[in-house]
Structure 1
Amino acid sequence: MQRAQKHQVPGSTPGLILHYQISYSSENPILNNKVEFPYVYRIIPNELSEVDAIMSIFKYFGWNWVGLIVSDDDYGYRASKRLEKVMRKESVCLDFLVRLKCNSYGIVKEKIQETIYNSTANVIMLFLSSKFAENINDFFDHDKIPKKIWIASSYLPHTVFMPLVPAFDTLNGTLVFSIQQGEIPGFKQFFYSLNPFKYQHDILFTNMWQLLFHCNLPTKTQVTYRYNCTGNESFDNIDLAAYETFDFRISYRIYTAVYAMAHALHELYGTMTSLPKSAESLQVYFKQWQLNALMRRVKFRTTSGDEIKFENNGDQPARYDILKHYFFKLGNLKRIKVGSFDASKSDGNQLFINNNASLWEPYFSEFVYSNCSEPCIPGYRKAKIEGKPSCCYTCVQCADGEMSNITDAQNCMKCSKYEKSNSGRNSCIPRNINYLSYEDQLGATLSFISIILSIMCAVILGIFRKYRETPIVRANNQYLSCLLLISLMLCFLSSLLFIGRPTQICCILQQVIFGIVFTISLSSLLAKTLTVIIAFNATKPGSKLKKYIGTQLSIILIIVCSLGETVISAVWLASNPPFAEADTLSDPDYIFLFCNEGSGILFFCIIGYMGTLALLSFIAAFLAKDFPDRFNEAKNITFSMLVFCSVWVTFVPAYLSSKGSRMVAVEIFAILSSSAGLLGCIFIPKCYIIFLKPELNTKELIVRK
């Protein structure tokens, strides 16, 4: 820590001494303790800020796997502790940590060498205090020099005084965060005006003069060079840049420290309005705490544009130049600025990197990657490897329905229920919509069949109207036959409501219309069968069934049966009606659009009600199949009911095990096949007799029989 300085007000008597310190070189963070050091300020950031600045370049290049070499002293321990804390926060891991001692030989030296050479990290940090800097040479074998990116603290320049060693080649291109450079007005002109004879008592300056110009000063007793200095030597003949003469980093800090104190004293002096302005009045009327309060308010800009102000802890905001160091065999050092760090920037862009490739070659660009594991490309996520640091991981592809569109994703994001992940798992795409459409081959085929069958019904209806006076049409109640044909035609057409994109109105109509028209069809068959039974039994002597012969009983029976179906449908629509639904869970690649029955119980009640009517029709037809009538259609109704019941018995398990368009196709197939069974079994034989066996369709034949 820099020794405290006593600042005396210019022009005052020796009595006014202010025990203040504005340090320009001490970076020890202990000075931030304002309880122990209330009057200490710094014109440079503390050493922990340098750690934060180094972490910013890690984030910039995405490095998360690094090595750390620190000196085995307070400086090294503070740096490693701070680094480990910040690295945990920024998800950066240490491949190794070496604490370098002043005398590391034998087995210890070999272990450290092996650690450095076998490291998989391409970035190694050096936090070495000045007395440890030279020891780094002991750990480099000329034949095993690792090619790494070296990032060092500001103490590294001390290594330029080492003799020619392999470390020069290894550390060439090292990045160093150095305190910011600035301009001191008039300093260069002052430097060029220096003369060794004017400052002949300054040993450092006279030695530097002899070293630069290779001459002897008469004040020196020992003759080293062949020529004597004249004092007229010119710096124009010397490559001062090689010696970083005008780097001005330390000098610039001294310059700003003096000006900071001057600003505080000037403001203190300005507060004296009614008091005599003299050194004695400052000593009498003002106390140290008053100057301390003014020091906290100091704020000004230098000629370089830097804003000078003190933080709450008495430090300056961290500002660093990122320098690339090149070491030469003659002991010279060349620095090239490749970036900067300014913690005072409020926009978050604190790190600036010069992307000029010539500044980074040849020691940097090929090792820009330093990670424990290969980055996980989009479509994959990181998975922890048991027993390894958090920076070491394996990449696992996102599951179906999940995606990641960034590199090194921690977790995969789930796609919305209307989307699926693409084959690369790096984006979500809309899921395919599945419903029975007219554009689909299956939908087009079913719609074509339903239209053909409905047209067939209309044609047969026309035939029955044309041949309505023939015995075969009159024999089985032509009015019920026409009603049955109309209801079957509506059954075929109702299947079209199941095709196309489901909507709320379609979902309601398809189930209601399907249930009612099918009930009318089955009621007509039951009425036809009962009419035959009643007509046969009414011919017996003393039968009371003669009064039921006619169409009135059939109409009442159809109305009553249809009313039962209508009541069930009304309760269904009032309580829990069908609605359009999208199934997003059954298949990850498809969204199934379908009509949800709402109430499955009432849906199967409708199916059960129709099944009951079909069973009654089957029983009645089976009982009347042997009645002696030429045109008795009881046998045909019996076969049609067998077809109908077979279709709907197999429908239930097939419907429950299907989904999407297949489920709708199963229901349409059941409607078409059962309706076609009724049409084929009952009306095709009659059409056969009408057109192909007209001799059987005569009144004389019936009377003769």
Structure 2
Amino acid sequence: MDPSIDTDGDLILGAFFPLYYMKPEAARTHLSFLMQPEYKVEADRWLWKNYQYVLAFYFAIQEINQDPRLLPNKSLGFQLYNALASEQYTLWSALYWLTGDHSMIPNYSCQTQSKSVVVLAGTSSVFSAGIATILELYKIPQLTYGPFDSTLNDKKQFPSLYQMATSDSSLVHAMISLLLHFGWTWVGLLVSDDVKGEQFNQAIQAEMVKRGICLAFAFKLHETRTMYEKLRPISFIRSAFPLQMCISCTGKIPGLNTFLKTVNPSHYPDDFYFRELWFHFFRCLPVGSVCGQTAVCPPNVSFEFSPGHIDMLTVSDSSYLVYNAVYAVAHALHRMFLEKVEMGFPEDAAQPLILPWQLHPLLKTTQFTNNAGDHVSLHKATPRQAHYDIHNIVNFPAGLQIMVNIGKFSSGSGRDQSLVIREDMIEWPVAFKETPTSVCSQSCGPGSRKMPEEGRAVCCYTCVSCAEGEISNQTDAEQCIQCPEQKYPNTERTHCLPKLVTFLAFEDFLGMALACMALVLTLLTVMVLGIFVKHQHTPIVKANNHTLSYMLLISLLLCFLCSFLFIGRPNTATCLLRQITFALVFTLAVSAVLAKTITVVLAFKAMKPGRTMRRLLVSGAPNAVIPICFLIQLTLCGIWLATSPPFVDADAHSEHGHIILLCNEGSITAFYCVLGFLGSLALGTFTVAFLARKLPDTFNEAKFLTFSMLVFCSVWVTFLPVYQSTKGKVMVAVEVFSILASGVGLLGCIFVPKCYIILIKPEKNSLKSFRKKVGPKRV
């Protein structure tokens, strides 16, 4: 196999394309400089897809040679070589092109007249840098059609090298956008083992960190045979990665598609690569080809019917750059010939002989618009918007594969970047019924948050439920959100719901029950008061100072009525009145009981010789206890209101899902001072009544007073711990119930027995009965 393909022309373009790999044994034999190299090489593995570079090269030269305006009366020829990323093989190929002879003697050329002007080389940075070192010795321009590499852009090291690709960091963003579109955050990375691969590796890993994508593994792959050897132990990647995609630049070459559908090896009989490719695809050769015993292909055979796993009709980004590179040379040559004519040297313009170094000033400033309408420039240009096509490798029956365009990506700044994917066109592997996942940990649903696992990547985490009072309303939340005080989380902890405002309302069963009890007791007290007023002249009413009985009944009536201040929606007025009214009316009631108890004691003492007790009893001195106690409590309440009065408050924490409206006591010290005085008064009254319980009073009232104060004190002693342990409207209900229960104790124990005698046993309500009852005790 001859290592080169030559086509004559007025000007020659050297081109190096990676078309096959050599067997290691053959490479060692042919690349040794200690012996004469053989001229035949053996291909170990063909890179059939890369032959599209050659076809784009052919098409560009054909268009230029047929264009009467670009290079009139001149033609472009070429010398085509295989490119292999090996220092020895690169040197061999470069020397062969320079000398034009198989002897490859440095600085010797068998060509009488040099027609070579530029070299197109380099899908990889390794090969471009290797051949540039040799070409720089002769100042021969080199145009690379591989991805942009910043190291090759160093004009001090590579002054004769021009990159057709522009600096473009958008590929990283395109790949990141693709991963995020499908939610793949746990991925592996394969990069070429060169400077370009390392730059891309660093760039994409930095972007992955920013966007929350984690790296499962990373491998560097060589571009030579070792690349495929290294792939074997990780061949699971292809089956594990469900979407076989490629992302390319979206350059379009008008007319190339038609060219590819009509071209065949008979058009380029010297191109043995073309024959090998055609035979590999179709097991035949076209009419007119040097085929020997090979079968002749039918007339309709073309690249349109190439095997599905090799799509020759979809233009790759490197093919597009090859096409532009040939045109860049043609435009530079056009300007050179035009300048010679303008300078008055038409005979020089007619001579096609050009020294390669003469093209450098022109190539540096070359810019044009190609047939696709795209702007092409070889000098440093501002970054332009990049467009990428996204292809899915679709499997067809009989093992055929074809790349189907499923979307595109357009670069921009910030949010201007856009990714469009037509998911209905994606063919997932048979094992997947829906879009596959690639995550280290499953997503945390709403109502939970991610908790990183120590020592692992950020994509590996556990899901924990949001704490009490917090929510998360999105998937994979980093933190939960605290609900405002006026709201509370729903059961799933995904939304904050408005809390219900609650209080001890009349409409509630509890409030209604307490209100009915208070109303019944109020009416009952009124009835008792009416009975006492009606029978005020009877002995049982007149006994023990009926004025105190009226005052006690009125105070109990007010006690039952004040319970209504505790029921209903709290407001400023009710908050100010409820505790103050409660304290004052109960002070009035308890002090009236105390006065009645003292009256009993004085009445007993007045029966004994001596006038002091009788004067106190007659003067109504026991009644003075009531205003004194009332004024003391009134003073305490006044201090309370003056310093820190009660106010309307809201409790948003005690009861889940509710905001409790309540009355804040303001000064807790003042509140307990008021209760303390009332408690002390009640305890003192109970003590006096207990000591006087066996005195022979009228209708035995001392025992009733003692028992009533026992009930009163028991109720309020029980009230304190229960009141402190409850919250919300239950706490208010406890206080209302205690008010009613203590009032019932006083009303029932003191007045029910007397009403019983007045209404049921009227015969006992007489002076005669009274005398019989107390008579024996005086003996």
**TM-score grouping bracket, smaller chain normalisation:** 0.7 to 0.9
Give the one of 139, 149, 174 matched to 1:53.
Answer: 174
Give the one of 286, 294, 299 matched to 1:215.
Answer: 286
Q: Measure, in 1, the Cα distance between the counterparts of 2:414 and 2:377.
A: 15
Give the one of 500, 522, 526 matched to 2:568.
Answer: 500
Q: Measure, in 2, the Cα distance between the counterparts of 1:440 and 1:26.
A: 78
Cα distance change on mapping 1:238 and 1:486 into 2, 3 Å: closer
Cα distance change on mapping 1:309 and 1:640 into 2, 3 Å: farther
Say if 1:215 and 1:225, in contact at 8 Å, map to a contact too: no
Q: Which has the larger radius of gyration?
A: 2
% identical aligned pairs = 39
Counterparts of 1:65-464 in structure 2 under 5 Å? Answer: 65-100=186-221, 129=223, 134-135=228-229, 138-139=232-233, 147-149=239-241, 174-180=244-250, 182-185=251-254, 214-215=285-286, 217=288, 223=292, 225=294, 239=305, 244=311, 246-249=313-316, 250-253=318-321, 315-325=383-393, 334-344=402-412, 347-357=415-425, 359-360=427-428, 362=430, 366=434, 368-431=436-499, 435-464=503-532
- Residue 535 (structure 1) shift: 5.0
Cα distance change on mapping 1:20 and 1:582 into 2, 3 Å: farther
Residue 633 of structure 2 corresponds to residue 565 of structure 1: yes
Q: For residue 185 of structure 2, what is the aligned residue in structure 1? A: 64
- Residue 246 (structure 1) shift: 4.7
Q: Measure, in 2, the Cα distance between the counterparts of 1:311 and 1:637.
A: 113
Q: Measure, in 2, the Cα distance between the counterparts of 1:241 and 1:190.
A: 18
Cα distance change on mapping 1:385 and 1:623 into 2, 3 Å: closer
Cα distance change on mapping 1:561 and 1:311 into 2, 3 Å: farther
Cα distance change on mapping 1:330 and 1:31 into 2, 3 Å: farther
Provide the TM-score with structure 1 as the length reference: 0.73
Q: Measure, in 1, the Cα distance between the counterparts of 2:592 and 2:263.
A: 127
Cα distance change on mapping 1:622 and 1:294 into 2, 3 Å: farther
Q: For residue 541 of structure 2, what is the aligned residue in structure 1? A: 473
Cα distance change on mapping 1:596 and 1:226 into 2, 3 Å: closer
Q: Specify the code of the residue in structure 2 equivalent to 1:663.
A: M
Say if 2:363 and 2:378, in contact at 8 Å, map to a contact too: no
Q: Measure, in 2, the Cα distance between the counterparts of 1:346 and 1:136.
A: 38
Say if 1:71 and 1:132, in contact at 8 Å, map to a contact too: no
- Residue 449 (structure 1) shift: 1.9
Which shows bigger deviation, 427-436 or 29-38?
29-38
Cα distance change on mapping 1:149 and 1:506 into 2, 3 Å: same
Say if 2:490 and 2:497, in contact at 8 Å, map to a contact too: yes
Residue 763 of structure 2 corresponds to residue 698 of structure 1: no
Which shows bigger deviation, 564-573 or 460-469?
564-573
Q: Specify the code of the residue in structure 2 equivalent to 1:61.
A: F
Q: Specify the code of the residue in structure 2 equivalent to 1:60.
A: H
Provide the TM-score with structure 2 as the length reference: 0.67
Q: For residue 621 of structure 1, what is the aligned residue in structure 2? A: 689
Cα distance change on mapping 1:374 and 1:209 into 2, 3 Å: closer
Say if 1:42 and 1:316, in contact at 8 Å, map to a contact too: no
Q: Measure, in 2, the Cα distance between the counterparts of 1:354 and 1:228.
A: 38
**3-state SS, counterpart of residue 356 of structure 1:** helix
Q: Specify the code of the residue in structure 2 equivalent to 1:147.
A: S
Q: Measure, in 1, the Cα distance between the counterparts of 2:216 and 2:719.
A: 67
Cα distance change on mapping 1:370 and 1:490 into 2, 3 Å: same
Which shows bigger deviation, 236-245 or 48-57?
236-245
Q: Measure, in 2, the Cα distance between the counterparts of 1:35 and 1:458.
A: 113
**3-state SS, counterpart of residue 147 of structure 1:** helix
Say if 2:260 and 2:313, in contact at 8 Å, map to a contact too: no
Q: Measure, in 1, the Cα distance between the counterparts of 2:379 and 2:544.
A: 109
Residue 707 of structure 2 corresponds to residue 636 of structure 1: no
Counterparts of 1:29-44 in structure 2 under 5 Å? Answer: 29-31=150-152, 44=165
Q: Measure, in 2, the Cα distance between the counterparts of 1:291 and 1:238.
A: 39
| 1:623-655 Cα deviation digits (max 9, x unpaired) | 554554434623322222222222222222222
Say if 2:265 and 2:286, in contact at 8 Å, map to a contact too: no
Q: Measure, in 2, the Cα distance between the counterparts of 1:535 and 1:409.
A: 82
- Residue 684 (structure 1) shift: 1.0
Q: Measure, in 2, the Cα distance between the counterparts of 1:698 and 1:263.
A: 140
Q: Measure, in 2, the Cα distance between the counterparts of 1:484 and 1:263.
A: 119
Q: Specify the code of the residue in structure 2 equivalent to 1:653.
A: P
| 1:284-320 Cα deviation digits (max 9, x unpaired) | xxxx99999999xx8x998868787999875544422
| 1:499-550 Cα deviation digits (max 9, x unpaired) | 2343333222210110111111112222233344445555666635665556
Q: Specify the code of the residue in structure 1 equivalent to 2:177.
A: S
Q: Specify the code of the residue in structure 2 equivalent to 1:385.
A: E
Q: Specify the code of the residue in structure 1 equivalent to 2:767.
A: K
Q: Measure, in 2, the Cα distance between the counterparts of 1:327 and 1:620.
A: 105
RMSD of aligned alpha carbons? 4.8
Say if 1:384 and 1:393, in contact at 8 Å, map to a contact too: yes
**3-state SS, counterpart of residue 215 of structure 1:** coil
Unaligned stretches of 5+ residues in structure 1? 4-8, 101-127, 151-172, 267-276, 281-287
Residue 661 of structure 2 corresponds to residue 661 of structure 1: no
Which shows bigger deviation, 394-403 or 445-454?
394-403
- Residue 474 (structure 1) shift: 1.6
- Residue 419 (structure 1) shift: 3.5
Q: Measure, in 2, the Cα distance between the counterparts of 1:469 and 1:339.
A: 108
Counterparts of 1:547-562 in structure 2 under 5 Å? Answer: 548-549=616-617, 553=621, 556-562=624-630
Say if 2:287 and 2:297, in contact at 8 Å, map to a contact too: yes
Q: Specify the code of the residue in structure 1 equivalent to 2:702.
A: A
Q: Measure, in 2, the Cα distance between the counterparts of 1:47 and 1:334.
A: 27
Unaligned stretches of 5+ residues in structure 2? 1-14, 17-68, 73-117, 119-138, 335-341, 346-358
Count of residue correspondences: 622
Q: For residue 610 of structure 1, what is the aligned residue in structure 2? A: 678
Counterparts of 1:586-597 in structure 2 under 5 Å? Answer: 586-588=654-656, 590-597=658-665
Cα distance change on mapping 1:566 and 1:317 into 2, 3 Å: same
| 1:415-470 Cα deviation digits (max 9, x unpaired) | 33343333333333345655433344333332222221111101001101111111
Q: Specify the code of the residue in structure 2 equivalent to 1:149.
A: F
